[in-house]
């Protein structure tokens, strides 16, 4: 990839993913959920109207530089992660060890949101941040075991190398079914959807980290959430479904995985904090451990 094309994708890829996830995916999610509830639901383009309305608001209450730059740091971290994930042959920031960098940057995005919410000094925001960090502590254990299984078997920390190896043989979901099941079980938790929407629970935390956000700040939070959702979907498509040769096929695979999450979100009630942690540390962790053992046995054979 030449320098000009690389720079073009570095600028446009995060924007494309924001539009796809924030606009198309969110609209589809609202429509499917409404139909399951026997409602008509809003139009699919409703998220576009909401985002434009938020950006166009003139008054934006700020709580200081940490409040402002926390969200910016979170969005910057998520944007860099997207550039490091192979998407249909597009891989602007590909390098050896990118899986490890992705793990660090995923922590940066959470810290950025936590700093911004904490600077608002609203107790509901602090409660939401505490829940977000505890939830992360729950799903990070099986998630790390899943990645460790992939790195152990393929003997690399390069996501692009893992994708290439799957194209030359079996895709990850067939070679490592236990790890794939673990990933499917923790995917709603990583995306913050039901039954793991305890961070932004309106009845308990009054939307948590978003309670003091309005106007452009709320738009930034929506963008950050969309980027994070795209990261989770793209990672699992690359790790278990062999990526894709072009962006269109890659987005179709992401859409299929996304629809599974939408159906889960539509039918399950919300967990309590202790229930969410107990869930993540039980079946997903056991499946992830089984996947790691399978990777070690296959590698040894």
Looking at the chain, how many residues does it have? 301
Give the residue carrying structure tokens 């009054």.
206
Q: What is the pTM of this model?
A: 0.89
Which residues 6+ apart lie within 8 Å of 152 measured at CB?
Answer: 292, 295, 296, 299
Which residues 6+ apart lie within 8 Å of 34 measured at CB?
Answer: 40, 41, 42
Q: Give 4: exposed, middle or buried? Use CB within 10 Å, 0-12, 13-18, 19+.
A: exposed
Establish whether the linkage from the previous residue to 195 is cis, with ω within 30° of 0: yes
pLDDT along the chain (301 residues), means of 10: 62 67 80 87 84 79 80 86 83 76 86 84 86 89 93 89 85 90 93 86 80 83 85 91 85 89 87 91 94 87 53
Contact by Cβ (8 Å): 15, 83 = no
Q: Please give the angle made by the CA atoms of 13, 18 and 19, to the nearest 5 degrees.
A: 100
pLDDT for 42 equals 85
Dihedral, 146, 147, 149, 150 alpha carbons, nearest 10: 120
Rounded distance, CA 279 to CA 271, Å? 9
3-state secondary structure of 287: helix
Provide the token pair at 24.
Answer: 């198309």
Give the residue carrying structure tokens 């054979």.
301
């Amino acid at each position: 990839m030449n320098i000009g094309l690389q720079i073009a994708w570095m600028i446009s890829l995060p924007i494309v993913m924001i539009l796809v996830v924030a606009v198309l995916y969110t609209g589809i999610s609202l429509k499917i959920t409404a139909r399951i509830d026997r409602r008509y639901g809003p139009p699919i383009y409703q998220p576009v109207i909401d985002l434009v309305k938020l950006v166009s608001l003139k008054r934006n209450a700020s709580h200081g530089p940490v409040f402002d730059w926390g969200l910016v740091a979170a969005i910057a971290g998520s944007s860099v992660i997207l550039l490091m994930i192979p998407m249909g042959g597009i891989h602007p920031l590909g390098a050896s060890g990118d899986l490890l960098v992705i793990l660090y940057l995923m922590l940066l995005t959470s810290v950025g949101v936590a700093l911004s919410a904490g600077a608002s000094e609203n107790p509901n925001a602090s409660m939401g941040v505490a829940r977000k960090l505890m939830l992360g502590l729950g799903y990070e254990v099986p998630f790390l075991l899943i990645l460790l299984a992939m790195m152990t078997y393929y003997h690399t920390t390069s996501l692009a190398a893992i994708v290439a190896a799957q194209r030359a043989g079996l895709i990850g979901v067939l070679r490592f079914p236990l790890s794939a099941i673990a990933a499917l079980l923790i995917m709603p938790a990583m995306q913050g959807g039901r039954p793991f929407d305890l961070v932004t629970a309106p009845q308990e935390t009054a939307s948590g980290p978003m309670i003091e956000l309005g106007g452009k700040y709320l738009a930034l939070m929506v963008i950050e959430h969309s980027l994070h959702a795209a990261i989770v979907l793209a990672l699992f498509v690359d790790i278990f479904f062999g990526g894709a040769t072009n962006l269109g096929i890659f987005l179709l695979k992401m859409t299929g995985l996304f629809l599974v999450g939408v159906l889960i979100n539509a039918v399950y009630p919300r967990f309590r904090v202790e229930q969410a942690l107990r869930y993540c540390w039980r079946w997903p962790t056991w499946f992830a451990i089984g996947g790691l053992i399978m990777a070690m046995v296959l590698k040894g054979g």
